[in-house]
Every structure is written in structure tokens, then in C-alpha cells.
Structure 1
Amino acid sequence: MNHDDPLLKILACPLDKGPLHLLVPESSLKEDEALYNPRLHRRYPIVDGIPQLLPSSGEQVTEDEHEELLKRMAP
């Protein structure tokens, strides 16, 4: 998925129904793509190109992780 994907405009967080932001993996890290809700500090994985948007699929992130993720959000 890339930041130009029209799907990003219609995807919403299953908890607060607000927009999600694409997290682009850093080349030095072995992280997968994910969608992020900065309002609730929740990250949702993208597995094989498919966003996993069940509430139980989301992962709560710490305040330190949140600050780091804000830097990685695609524009």
C-alpha cells in the first residue's frame, strides 16, 4: 500500500471511526506496513496488503512509540 492509495481515504479506525495514517517502514528496520490512529495511539497491521481493522487486531502503543510513529507517518 502506498500513501496515494485511494483506499486510505475511506478506511477508518474501528473504534473511533476517524481517519488512519499509513506508517511507512524504515529501510533499516524489519517492520511491516501498518495503519495508525494517533488519537487513540493504536496501530493496525497490514498483512499481505490487507489492512487488519478488527478492534482486536489493533495494538496499543506507548507514549514513546507514539512520538516515533508520528515521525514515520506518510504525508
Structure 2
Amino acid sequence: MAAPMRATRLFVTDWRSVRRFSLSAALRSPQDEKKFDERMLQYLVCPVSKTPLRYDKENNELVCDNMHVAYPIVNGIPNLVPTDARKITEVTKDTSTDNKNQPET
């Protein structure tokens, strides 16, 4: 009978700590966000393709050029869960429209 009471007590303790953490995280301003340590790039790879990632400072993401996906970085911690990745659409110059404007020889 003592074991279930102890488990309940642990749950309440864990719940309170999670609640405190969530409230403090919600009250933080964007200036308080931690920066990503670029030295970590030597250890991180894409979880799908296993190729090295590059850091995109402008969007605060880790980019896998091989898979054309970007993984978000939240409070300095990369989120490398494949389902949370954003698909990157490549912007390529359409050469077929450029050729239409030139006169034929």
C-alpha cells in the first residue's frame, strides 16, 4: 500500500516541476533565447540521410541539403525529429522563359 502512495507523491512532485518549468518558459522574452553553439555541427548529422548539417543563422535552423529539409532550433537545442522538419523548396531560375524573350538566329 505504501508503493502506490509513493508513486502518486512522485507524480505530484514531477507535475509541479513541469508546471514551474512551463510557466518560466512562457514568461521568457525572445531576447532570452539561447544561441546555437556552432561547434556542435561536427557531431550532428541528418537523422534520415546521415549526412552533415549546415547552420542557417537567418532562420535559426539546421539544414540538410541532401534531403532538402530544415530542422528547427529551439532555445539553442536542435530538434532533429524528422516529423518536425520543414521541407525546403528550392528557388531555381526558370531558363525556359528567358529563352522565349531572346530572338531566334
TM-score (norm 2): 0.50
Q: What per-residue deviation string (whole Å, max 9, x for no partner) do you get for residues 18-64 of structure 1?
A: 10000011xxxxxx410001111100000011000011111111121
* Runs of 4 or more above 2 Å deviation: none
Q: Does the residue aligned with 1:63 lie in a helix, a strand or coil?
A: coil
Where structure 1 has 5 or more consecutive residues not aligned to the other structure, the ranges are 26-31, 68-75
The answer to which structure has the higher helix fraction is 2
Matches within 5 A, 1:1-75: 1-2=36-37, 5-25=38-58, 32-64=59-91
Kindly tell me the number of residue pairs found equivalent between the two proteins.
Answer: 57
* Greater relative CO (CA pairs within 8 A, separation 6+): 1
Residue identity (%) = 35
TM-score (norm 1): 0.68
The answer to which structure has the higher strand fraction is 1
Where structure 2 has 5 or more consecutive residues not aligned to the other structure, the ranges are 1-35, 93-105
